[in-house]
Structure 1
Amino acid sequence: MRSIKTSINPSKIIFGLFLLLGFTVSSFNAVAQQLLKLHYDKPAQNWNEALPLGNGRLGLMAFGNPEREHLQLNEETVWAGEPGNNVPANTSSQINEIRNLLFQGKNQQAQNLSNQTFPRQAPADLNYGMPYQTVGDLWITFPGHQNYSNYYRDLDISNATSTVSYQVNHTTFTRKVFASLTDDVIVMKITADKPNSINFTLGLSSTQKDHQVKNDGSYLQLSGNSGSVDNKKGKIKFEALVSPVVQGGLVNKTDSSITVSQANSVIFYISIATNFKNYKDLTAEPLVKAKSILNKAIAKKYEEALAAHQKKYQSFFNRVTLELGDSEQSKKTTDVRVREFADHKDPQLVALYFQFGRYLLISSSQPGGQPANLQGIWNDKNSPPWDSKYTVNINTEMNYWPAEITNLSEMHEPLFSMLKDLATTGKESASQMYHARGWNMHHNTDLWRITGIVDGGFYGMWPMGGAWLTQHLWQHYLFTGDDKFLRENYPILKGAAMFYLDVLKEEPRTKWLVMAPSMSPENTYEKNVGVAAGTTMDNQLIFDTFNNLINAAKILKTDGSFSDSVSTALAKMPP
């Protein structure tokens, strides 16, 4: 059996041991010996083949085309819409009737009423959440670079950088790009092994309807506004600034582009900011913020900036290494290894895949920012699949399952921050839809922390999102033993438990307390019927919510009477 080497305290990785099938633990000392690179011998032909980089707030997909480099840009708060919840009015009586129909065994009628009460498409005065959207695209066109040789492209997940190199007319060109964790900008350096060889034109574009590109003299500027969807107007304003620092050569500027000729090297700095402060406050000054970040970054030496970024990244990444052995397959490009994996022994690809998951979490979820959404922070569309929201009937939870067990606790913090917001907005759905105390949410949320039903009365009738998400708070406590954290987040646990304490109803036949109406997510048990009473999944989630509350109250020596009430309800739930 191969070993996993880590600097984690053994008491903090018990669940990781189960996940990693009992691999042994020791100090980290071998990451340099591993091939922790995704590497290719051709440019990306589409967005899915581009390479993701990010610093939690900013994301980019690097395509690596010699003739025309393409960096697709994201900022974590560029979402359609504006502040506001999506709780439907006057639905509590229908929810009660759906429950009554289920208790009478009239399941199809219950589903019909659920569909009628919550239509598949959002009514004119409502919305089913907003999509995460793209900022735009940076294009760097290199004349004469369509005929190239000795091409190489990689994503080095040991230091969070991507490199492209190739030859044109016996000159080797190299590009290195990273999303700085320390300076909060995207940086790309272009070099050539012969002087005065770098020639290009720089441009910006966006698929946002409301945008403009202009040259401000010291930088190229993309200004834009997010989109309007359903009953919400797009009110996120963003600014993207690109400043090339040129060593040697000539610089010419037009209204919307920059051309560089005969340079020795160029360093691009990309700064992006929005007017977002929090889910209910859009009063930040995006241009002021973007300029401030940009100027501070440019003032640093490139080598120092790169070293600082790598040091911070490796302070997270280097905590764990997984060694499973190697084979000749690791010498091949990553696309070939993936294609041949079923028929060739390639244990190192498994280790690379494991570490790639950790890399993505580090790159898309940093303290002080937003949680990783359905696509992390990487998205080239204004209407992406499933809106690239937070789908909390498993996907958001899956994003964060590795956080504690692979020693990335800090990456969990954005999810905890969102939970604090949801524990506030979720009071609206709890009180208005269910006449309950506490807070709840259904199976989706977004930047605006919506908690109402999304996608109608079949997929959306699942008031269990808060129960599942609060497990992450408890798991974090189990791994860290941080009593201060538990005390700070105890109100969130209590609010979730309070909601279920109020909404659980006695099922007439068994006399058990059950959640109704709800469903087993995206499943049916009769033809076209998903809405149900007392699903096994709900029972387990509520069981965990109640037990976590009871244990937390005991540890903190608080809420004895409330804890007793929860214990009484727990004893009446299905075994």
Structure 2
Amino acid sequence: MKKIFSMLLFLLFLIGFSQDNPNLKLWYNEPSGNVWENALPIGNGFLGAMVYGNVEHEVIQLNENTVWSGGPNRNDNADALAALPKIRNMIFEGKHKEAEKLADQTFISKKSQGQIFQPVGNLNLNFEGHQKYSNYRRELDIEKAISKTSYKVNDVSYTREAFVCFSERVVVIHLTADKKASISFTANYSTPHKVNNFAVSTSNDLEITGTSSDHEGVKGAINFKGITRIKLDKGKLEQTDSSLIVKDADEVTIYVSIATNFNNYHDVSGNQDKKAADYMDRAFSKSYERIKKSHIVAYQQYFNRVKFNLGQTPQNDLPTDVRLKNFRDTNDPQFVTLYYQYGRYLLISSSQPGGQPANLQGIWNNNLNPAWDSKYTININAQMNYWPAEKTNLSELHEPFLEMVKDLAATGQETARTMYGARGWMAHHNTDIWRSTGAVDGAFWGLWTAGGGWASQHLWEHYLYTGDKEFLKSIYPILKGAALFYVDFLVEHPLYKWLVVNPGNSPENAPKAHNGSSLDAGTTMDNQIVYDVFTTAIRAAAILKEDAVFVDTLQQLRSQLPPMKVGKYNQLQEWLDDIDDPEDHHRHVSHLYGLFPSNQIGAYKTPELFAASKNTLMQRGDVSTGWSMGWKINWWAKLQDGNHAYLLIKNQLTPLGVNIEGGGTYNNLFDAHPPFQIDGNFGCTSGITEMLVQSSDGAVHLLPALPDLWQEGSIKGIRVRGGFEIVEMKWENYQLIKLIVKSELGGNLRLRMPNNLILQSGGKVTAAKGENPNPFYFVDQIPKAVISEKSNIKPLELKPTILVDVATKKDNLYRFVNK
């Protein structure tokens, strides 16, 4: 009996520890004040809120994922098709700037340049007499997705908890004090929307209604409704015409529901009043403890899948903003793991099945006119948001982006036909909730035809990680449509005779040789994306045993695409001609798409291109804007240079204003482009994963890019291609000492490791020979690189590794230990 009692106490201790893990908290000893980037983000993929943690005047800034300006619309430019031959000839003749000027007139939309993600407004809580306070602390517990603020006024200690519920569609705020009858405040709404109304209903609901903005000739069509309802323990609830007043309560729970009339990108006939009321009624019937418990359970089904440990130092005990300030000059490995898990937290909180994809700011925005409209920039940023999805075991949360790709495959058919006379579908460099696919913002940025092609590769990636053949069958028409566009759009280059994209673009960069124009024919990134689009369609068709004739067409066209080139500066050429400037430090290094996220360039199959990629990165430099640093971490990880990847992590985790060329991180650990863009958070989480495990180059490569400071550590729960889960990986002195792999699909497990391991259970280890027979690890043999006569490129020296195979069975575990 005593033994059972002791065991129960031990289990209770473990439960208590797991519910209050200080290593997974952002915390501060000062309120946010009026600085939005100091506030703490909470969300459930449908609703987002920023909690300021102010004592006297608390602000809960609110977002709903479908509150966007405008309404259903199209923004194609019908003049494009007639101008296309002339623009192509201009580019082939070297008249790039003239082509760009004509494209501005004929390709760029004369309608909407894209609509805006907009806020709902603020819930304001005003606490009279709380000007003087002590013992202040605010925190965000990312293990439970709960924000907490605590302080003391006179002899009373106050606590506020807030979360956006994962089991219900509401924001919940809970107020307590350690002395009865101590909670008094006034609640009201404010909003930047011009069309709005505030009221208190007869049932004591505080309500906000509004309509999204008109923008660029598109009338605002989103009607939203917010309801705040308060539950008291003791005390009184009074009202004015636009506020609720709580007096002398022991305990208070505030519920907030928000809904809109949005059904989908072409239907805004929903009933926002009924939806908001239904969400509220369902949640309000539950006690605070009950709804909190269900919220934590629903959230942790995602978050708890991955555990990551790099050790601790005394820096752990400092406030988050102080740790951020110190990070460049101290060893704080736990700050890296906190930031890593914070990226997962942000993705879980801003992207849920059935909701909209995470946009440029995830789901958090307080401005009617945010930077870049806070929409979807699909020449890197929106894709980067979802790089962590599969590998950090959040595959279900990829769904909103994949559903958007399906929508774009529908809306993009008309763009392909109207603007390019092509079959299939395409999208340019930007889209929004209305799934616009026209070219926007000017030809320099917007005349880029690869947005749809790149986005479609996420469908294929989801298949590679899950092996879901039914999913592959359902999305094959989309992969085929992306390829079909290029079948019709490619043209022969008059000098090189290769098939090229013209007009093409290497996003947002422009060589001096083109007089500052970004337009060209056959840019490296365009070629790489077309190669991937064709290859994916070929492989998907083969798996499904479909379209043999179409596959033959794609194979022939793919063989006529330009190969990658190594230029006179030993760089990977960005353009067909060798015109790269080694002093160009532009933040976009788009032609390294072939290194990551694609796998066309690899350490073991394309050593010259691999070395050229490193030279390109060295020439471009390290310090950049936030998302660019995030991408560079992934590249340096792929280059197996952990110390350089870690240097970029330090650049990323630097307070805004310290880096000479911009970028860094705000106090709430939001990525600073600046201003805030969430892609840098997600890119860094992806890059840290790539430092530990990679699976794109024919094998599961373990510890490919450990920095010197990560001598020991462990990670649990990350995933790799082919349905394998790294249940646990532990290392000491840079050597693997423990590995447990689960095989959900079966098939060959090829491991590339820094040291040998013994398989304790589950099968036999053999030396790897030839190509990996696991089809999820097939790597295409790309065309041989063209190397400049002026180049003296040499392959990089790589750390020695051990390459082994293990034949696995479905749903079995495989345990390895160090000799």
Question: 1:10 is matched with which residue?
Answer: none
Partner of 1:209: 194
Residue in structure 2 matched with residue 537 of structure 1 by the alignment: 525
Q: Deviations over 1:317-371 (max 9, x none)?
A: 1111111111101100000000011111110000000000000000000001100
2:560 aligned with 1:572, yes or no?
Answer: yes
Q: Which of 303, 315, 339 is the equivalent residue of 1:317?
A: 303
Write the distance in 2 (CA, Å) between the matches of 1:314 and 1:100. Answer: 57
Matches within 5 A, 1:176-187: 176-187=161-172
Q: Give yes or no for the alignment of 1:413 onto 2:402.
A: no
Residue 209 of structure 2: aligned partner: 223
Contact (CA 8 Å) 2:79, 2:107: kept in 1 or not? no
* Residue 199, structure 1, aligned to residue 184, structure 2: yes
1:104 and 2:90 matched:
no
CA contact (8 A) 1:117 1:457 kept: no
Partner residue, 2:117 = 132
Output aligned runs, 1:125-164, within 5 Å.
Answer: 126-164=111-149
Question: In the aligned structure 2, how far is the partner of 1:54 from the partner of 1:118?
Answer: 38
Q: Which residue of 1 aligns with 2:424?
A: 438
Matches within 5 A, 1:259-338: 259-338=245-324
Gaps of 5+ in 2: 1-16, 564-819
Query: By how many angstroms is 1:96 displaced?
Result: 2.1
> Matched residues in 2 for 1:106 and 1:453: separation?
21
Give the match for residue 48 of structure 2.
59
How many residues are matched?
543
What is the CA–CA distance in structure 1 between the aligned matches of 2:71 and 2:252, rounded to whole Å? 38
Q: How does 1:362-381 map onto structure 2 within 5 Å?
A: 362-381=348-367
In the other structure, the counterpart of 2:70 is 81
For residue 35 of structure 1, give the secondary structure of its aligned residue in structure 2. Answer: helix
**Deviation, structure 1 residue 393:** 0.3
Stretches (4+) displaced over 6 A: 29-32
Q: How far has the Cα of 1:55 moved from its partner?
A: 0.3
Correspondence for 1:48: 37
**Structure 2 equivalent of residue 3 of structure 1:** none
Following superposition of structure 1 onto structure 2, how do residues 28-47 of structure 1 map, counting pairs within 5 Å? Answer: 35-45=23-33, 46-47=35-36
C-alpha distance 220-60 of structure 1, shift in aligned 2 (>3 A): same
Structure 1 residues 206 and 534: CA distance shift in structure 2, 3 A: same
Aligned-pair CA distance for 1:230 = 0.8
Alignment partner for residue 436 of structure 2, among 445, 450, 468?
A: 450
- Alpha-carbon distance between aligned partners in 1 of 2:319 and 2:430, rounded to the nearest angstrom: 38
- Work out the CA distance in 2 between the residues paired with 1:110 and 1:413: 38
Which position in structure 1 is the counterpart of 2:474?
488
Higher relative contact order (CA 8 A, sep 6+): 1
1:239 is aligned, of 219, 222, 225, to: 225
CA-based RMSD: 1.2
Paired residue for 2:389? 403
The 1-side partners of 2:339 and 2:157 are apart by 31
* 1:31–1:318 CA contact under 8 A, matched in 2: no
Given residue 86 of structure 1, which amino acid in structure 2 is its aligned partner? N
Q: 3-state DSSP class of the match of 2:550?
A: helix
Shift of 1:89: 1.8
Q: Within 1, Cα distance between the matches of 2:312 and 2:166?
A: 31
Q: Which residue of 1 aligns with 2:408?
A: 422
CA distance in 1, matches of 2:386, 2:97: 36
Q: Note the C-alpha offset of 1:31.
A: 9.2
For normalisation by structure 2, the TM-score amounts to 0.66
Please tell me whether the aligned partners of residues 30 and 321 of structure 1 are also in contact (alpha carbons under 8 angstroms): no
Contiguous gaps of at least 5 residues in structure 1: 1-28
Output the CA distance in 1 between the equivalents of 2:399 and 2:63.
21
Asked if the contact 1:31/1:321 (under 8 Å) is kept, the reply is no
Shift of 1:91: 1.6
Going from structure 1 to structure 2, the CA distance change for 1:30 and 1:289 (only over 3 Å counts) comes to closer
The percent identity for this pair of structures is 50
Task: Tell me, in whole angstroms, the C-alpha distance in 1 between the residues paired with 2:419 and 2:44.
Answer: 38
CA distance in 1, matches of 2:320, 2:74: 44
Q: Distance in 1 between matches of 2:97 and 2:131?
A: 62
Q: Establish whether residue 170 from structure 1 lines up as the match of residue 155 from structure 2.
A: yes
Inter-partner Cα distance in structure 2 for 1:96 and 1:353: 49
Q: Structure 1 116/243 Cα, relative in aligned 2: closer, same or farther at 3 Å?
A: same
- Alignment deviations for residues 115-167 of structure 1 (CA, whole Å, 9 cap, x no partner): 33346xx63xx110001001000000000001000001000000100000000
d(CA) in 1 for partners of 2:473 and 2:504? 31
Query: Per-residue displacement from partner, 1:217-260 (whole Å, max 9, x unpaired)?
Result: 33100000000011100010000000011111111111000111
> Any residues of structure 2 matched to 1:451-466 within 5 Å, and which?
451-466=437-452
How far 1:95 sits from its partner (Å)? 2.1
Aligned-residue offset at 1:502: 0.6
Partner of 2:81: 92
Matched residue SS, 2:97: helix
Distance 1:176 1:199, change over 3 A: same
1:553, 1:540 → 2: CA distance? 20
Pairwise mapping of residues 462-541 of structure 1 onto structure 2 (< 5 A)?
Answer: 462-525=448-511, 526-541=514-529
| CA pair 260-34 structure 1, distance change in 2 beyond 3 A | closer
Alignment partners' CA distance in 2, 1:491 and 1:571: 23
Moved more, 295-304 or 263-272: 295-304
Kindly tell me: are residues 403 and 441 of structure 1, through their superposed partners in 2, closer, same or farther at Cα, counting changes over 3 Å? same
Q: Is the 8 A contact 2:234 2:249 kept in 1?
A: yes
**In structure 2, the residue corresponding to 1:314 is in which secondary structure?**
helix
* 1:546–1:31 Cα change, 3 Å: farther
State the shift of 1:105 in Å: 2.2
TM-fit CA distance, 1:99: 0.9
Relative distance call for 1:33 and 1:166 in structure 2 (3 A) is closer
8 Å contact kept, 2:100–2:444 = yes
Query: How many Å apart are 1:101 and its aligned residue?
Result: 1.1
The reply to whether residue 68 of structure 1 matches residue 45 of structure 2 is no
Task: Quote the offset at 1:106 in angstroms.
Answer: 2.1
- Alpha-carbon deviation of 1:112? 2.3
Higher mean C-alpha deviation, range 83-92 or range 220-229: 83-92
Structure 2 CA distance for aligned equivalents of residues 34 and 220 of structure 1: 36
TM-superposition CA deviations, 1:271-330 (whole Å, max 9, x none): 000000000001100011000110010111211111111111111011111111111011
CA distance in 1, matches of 2:541, 2:241: 63
Residues 114 and 458 in structure 1, CA contact (< 8 A), matched pair in contact too: no
Distance 1:89 1:570 in 2: 29
